[in-house]
Amino acid sequence: MNKYRVVRKFKNTKSKMKISLIFNTYEEAKEFVEEVCFSDKEDYKFLKDSNDFHQEFHGSREIVSIDIVEGAGG
């Protein structure tokens, strides 16, 4: 069963900090992006790669992506 990795890349930080989390379902990953990464007050731009499963959400303070982690045990 595939899992989904959410990676948060923070803009304007000297350390170029990234945080990576694994979720069991796409719905959990997407909810985390919408509810935790971006508040209702912040707009973000949604980009989707048509070749692979890769989604990016570009906000003013961070870039968040969702990818499939194939073969991740659970």
Q: Could you read off the pLDDT of 43-71 as tens digits, one per residue?
A: 777 776 655 678 888 888 888 999 998 76
Alpha-carbon distances of 62 from 1, 15, 19, 27, 57, rounded to whole Å: 29, 13, 11, 21, 8
Number of domains in the chain: 1
Does residue 17 or residue 50 have the better pLDDT? 17
Query: What domain range includes position 61?
Result: 3-69
Residue 74 lies in a domain: no
Query: How many CB atoms sit inside 10 A of residue 60's CB?
Result: 10
pLDDT over 90 for what percent of the chain?
23
Would you say the pTM of this structure is higher than 0.85?
no
Taking the alpha carbons at both ends of the chain, their separation in whole angstroms is 8
More confident residue, 46 or 21: 21
How confident is the prediction for the chain on average, in pLDDT? 82
